[in-house]
């Protein structure tokens, strides 16, 4: 491909809308252009890199028995109504009516469509197991799109769906995906970890997320370097030492002026924060049938911990959670800053199990300026639910080995879910078992964000000059630069044209900078685009005996004779590919 004909332009200035390196560089290098917030066009360079990523994905999916299909982007709303997700998902779902007034959905995921296919196609256990996958455009109207492709609204995704007759089959397909995902990410040059995660709107009983660690990530991950425990902070557990036993003491109301926070209260009473109960007020959106309603939730955690909102939402089966307003708190009879579940009624109280086991805590008195000493769960108040509500923090004890947990930031590039029979039950996707009974198909769902993966690779592989693509996903393998000098042609141009023909014939994918531009512009663009190898044809190099050879990941330049150039290029590319392939190894399932 000649750059004089390439349908993209490099940009000198950093686009104002780009807030992270990958977003800036993919725009500046001409890989994509933004059409609207979170919506992008992919130009030839970006399309070629995505094609290579998709090829890596297809090979891995085919290797574990996947069959590629293509499902519609537009779905009839009835499918989503049958599973209930039409009512459970908020404005992120793209909804519209067709010309007949029928409700339609822009696909954000395809569990419903797959289950509909299954109920129409699968009749017997002899058709199972099966694995279907697609690479498809998705739409989620994210309220906070950011970081370019890392959090877009329209995106490309590989999603696969396993279909099994029993739970053992699901477990086998799930574990095959687990390893295949590591293989995919490693072949893309990306280092990832797998962490336990929340099943969220997908449902099911087990889920893992595949995370690349980066400071720009929005997810917080809790890792144990001692035993390998890993989990998204949304679901991470911590080791909690049982409180020392104490005989329950009589409740005593004490004046605590100007002590609205746990820190102020502990300082005033000269007690550790662990001896206090913290009240957190939330309003949960709950689904009852096809209608939603708001429910005030009074959550109680120990004063030395923080509430994990995901755990609370899962406990009460909330579609959404938001902090309660001061007016809402007062309406239920509580007093902001001095609140307690003691004496309240008609309120959904959820208590952390550590609070339930901790005797003689200090709690609010529901009276401004006063707290209660020696409050005990079960004697002084009750709750509709007692469960783990605590958010893990850096330095907390690992739940498996009690070593310290480490908090890091990450971006999710893939996820896998054991869905079970949720969608099969809702849509009637059953099969005739060997004993003649009708049973629901057991499903798994597995996703990889292709466009997000492109951005994460760019985030991991760049320097101050531009992108530095791994050989497996680079849009072209070679960047041929010709410097024609003042003559504007001559021997360098003739030799460069011939070299490009030879490289193309050898299957080495050159991008040929044949533009009438200065050496500085050409070299800067070569660094910005970031192809693995740059070959420079110039009068100086020819006089020195050949063509200048430079790897993008090395500052070293050398002159290679024309006779040995293609062999050297192939050798270097083979080394790069071997280095990538050496990372594709079995990973223990956790």
Confidence band, pLDDT 50/70/90 cuts, at residue 382: very high
Whether residue 415 has pLDDT greater than 60: yes
Q: Where does CATH 3.30.930.10 sit in the chain?
A: 21-192+423-459
Pairing of strands 154-164, 442-449: antiparallel
0.85 surpassed by pTM: yes
Residue 103 has a pLDDT of: 97
Identify the top-confidence range among 57-61, 89-93, 195-199, 323-327.
57-61
Classify domain 21-192+423-459 by CATH architecture. Answer: 2-Layer Sandwich (3.30)
Whether residue 77 has pLDDT greater than 70: yes
Residue pair 457/150 in contact (Cβ under 8 Å)? The answer is: no
Assign 453 to helix, strand or coil: helix
CA quadruple 84, 89, 91, 94: dihedral sign: negative
Residue pair 503/559 in contact (Cβ under 8 Å)? The answer is: no
Tell me the mean pLDDT in the region 77-85: 95
- Which tens digit of pLDDT belongs to each residue from 150-203? 999 999 999 999 999 999 999 999 999 999 999 999 999 999 999 988 776 666
Other C-beta atoms within 10 Å of 263: how many? 12
CATH 3.90.1150.10 corresponds to the domain 252-387: no
Sheet holding 277-288, edge to edge: 320-323, 277-288, 291-302, 348-352, 385-387
What is the C-alpha separation between 109 and 86, in angstroms, rounded? Answer: 12
Residue 288 has a pLDDT of: 83
Q: Where does CATH 3.40.50.800 sit in the chain?
A: 476-581
In this structure, what are the phi and psi dihedrals at residue 297, rounded to the nearest 5 degrees? -120, 125
Q: Where does CATH 3.90.960.10 sit in the chain?
A: 252-387
- Which tens digit of pLDDT belongs to each residue from 205-235? 789 999 999 999 989 999 999 999 999 999 9
Assign 10 to helix, strand or coil: coil
Tell me the mean pLDDT in the region 272-276: 95
Whether residue 487 has pLDDT greater than 80: no
- Which tens digit of pLDDT belongs to each residue from 91-107? 899 999 999 999 999 99
Residue 198 CB-half CA count within 13 A: 20
Confidence band, pLDDT 50/70/90 cuts, at residue 489: low
Distance of CA 456 to the CA centre of its chain: 10
Burial-class residue 245 by CB neighbours within 10 Å (0-12, 13-18, 19+). exposed
Whether residue 279 has pLDDT greater than 70: yes
What is the C-alpha separation between 254 and 256, in angstroms, rounded? Answer: 6
Residue pair 442/431 in contact (Cβ under 8 Å)? The answer is: no
Q: What is the largest CA-CA distance in the chain?
A: 99
Whether residue 272 has pLDDT greater than 60: yes
In the structure, how many helices (H) and strands (E) does the chain have? 16, 31
Residue 201 has a pLDDT of: 61
In this structure, what are the phi and psi dihedrals at residue 52, rounded to the nearest 5 degrees? -70, -40
Tell me the mean pLDDT in the region 475-501: 88
CA quadruple 264, 269, 274, 275: dihedral sign: negative
Mean pLDDT of the chain: 94
Higher pLDDT: 53 or 244? It is: 53
Q: How far is CA 504 from CA 204, 498, 508, in A?
A: 50, 10, 6
Residue pair 21/540 in contact (Cβ under 8 Å)? The answer is: no
- Which tens digit of pLDDT belongs to each residue from 556-584? 999 999 999 999 999 999 999 999 999 99
Residue pair 173/418 in contact (Cβ under 8 Å)? The answer is: no
Residue pair 76/104 in contact (Cβ under 8 Å)? The answer is: yes
Q: Secondary structure of 16-74 in the HEC alphabet?
A: CCCCCHHHHHHHHCCCEEEEECCEEEECHHHHHHHHHHHHHHHHHHHHCCCEECCCCCE
Burial-class residue 287 by CB neighbours within 10 Å (0-12, 13-18, 19+). middle
Fold for the domain defined by 476-581:
Rossmann fold (3.40.50)
What is the C-alpha separation between 551 and 244, in angstroms, rounded? Answer: 63
- Which tens digit of pLDDT belongs to each residue from 338-360? 999 998 888 899 999 999 999 99
């Amino acid at each position: 491909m000649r750059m004089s004909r390439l349908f993209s332009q490099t940009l000198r200035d950093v686009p104002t809308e780009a807030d992270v390196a990958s977003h800036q560089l993919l725009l500046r290098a001409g890989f994509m252009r933004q059409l609207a917030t979170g919506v992008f066009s992919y130009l030839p360079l970006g399309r070629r890199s995505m094609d290579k990523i998709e090829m890596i994905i297809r090979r891995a999916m085919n290797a574990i028995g996947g069959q590629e299909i293509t499902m519609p982007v537009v779905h009839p709303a009835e499918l989503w109504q049958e599973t209930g997700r039409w009512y459970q998902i908020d404005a992120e779902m793209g909804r519209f009516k067709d010309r007949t007034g029928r409700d339609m959905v822009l696909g954000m995921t395809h569990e419903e469509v797959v289950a509909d296919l299954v109920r129409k196609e699968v009749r017997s256990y002899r058709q199972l197991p099966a694995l279907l996958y697609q690479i498809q455009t998705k739409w989620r109207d994210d309220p906070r799109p950011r970081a370019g492709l890392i959090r877009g609204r329209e995106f490309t995704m590989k999603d696969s769906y396993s279909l099994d007759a029993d739970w053992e089959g699901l477990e086998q397909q799930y574990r095959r995906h687990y390893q295949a995902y590591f293989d995919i990410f490693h072949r893309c040059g990306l280092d990832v970890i797998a962490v336990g995660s929340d099943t969220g709107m997908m449902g099911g009983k087990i889920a893992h997320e595949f995370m690349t660690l980066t400071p720009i990530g929005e997810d917080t991950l809790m890792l144990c370097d001692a035993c390998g425990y890993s989990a998204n902070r949304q679901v991470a557990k911590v080791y909690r030492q049982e409180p020392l036993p104490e005989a329950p003491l009589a409740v005593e109301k004490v004046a605590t002026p100007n002590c609205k926070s746990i820190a102020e209260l502990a300082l005033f009473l000269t007690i550790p924060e662990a001896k206090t109960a913290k009240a957190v007020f939330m309003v949960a959106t709950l689904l009852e049938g096809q209608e939603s309603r708001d429910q005030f939730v009074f959550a109680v955690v120990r004063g030395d911990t923080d509430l994990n909102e995901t755990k609370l939402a899962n406990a009460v089966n909330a579609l959404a959670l938001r902090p309660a307003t001061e007016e809402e708190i007062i309406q239920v009879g509580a007093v902001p800053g001095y609140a307690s579940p003691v004496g309240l009624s008609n309120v959904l109280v959820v208590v952390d199990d550590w609070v339930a086991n901790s005797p003689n805590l200090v709690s609010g008195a529901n009276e401004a300026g006063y707290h209660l000493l020696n409050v005990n769960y079960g004697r002084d108040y009750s709750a509709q639910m007692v469960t783990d509500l605590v958010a893990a923090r850096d330095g907390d004890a690992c739940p498996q080995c009690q070593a310290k947990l480490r908090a890091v930031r990450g971006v999710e590039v893939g996820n896998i879910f054991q869905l079970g029979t949720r969608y099969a039950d809702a849509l009637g996707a059953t099969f005739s078992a060997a004993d003649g009974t009708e049973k629901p198909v057991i499903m798994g769902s597995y996703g990889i964000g292709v466009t997000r993966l492109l951005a994460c690779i760019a985030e991991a592989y760049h320097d101050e000059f531009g992108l530095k693509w791994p050989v497996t996903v680079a849009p072209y393998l070679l960047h041929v630069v010709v410097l024609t000098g003042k003559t504007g042609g001559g021997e360098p141009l003739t030799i460069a044209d011939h070299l490009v023909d030879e490289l193309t014939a050898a299957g080495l994918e050159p991008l040929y900078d044949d533009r009438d531009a200065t050496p500085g512009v050409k070299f800067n663009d070569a660094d910005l685009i970031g192809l693995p190898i740059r070959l420079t044809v110039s009068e100086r190099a020819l006089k020195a005996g050949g063509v200048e050879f430079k790897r993008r990941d090395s500052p070293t330049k050398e002159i290679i004779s024309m006779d040995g150039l293609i062999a050297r290029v192939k050798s270097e590319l083979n080394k790069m590919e071997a280095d990538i392939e050496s990372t594709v190894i079995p990973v223990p399932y956790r």
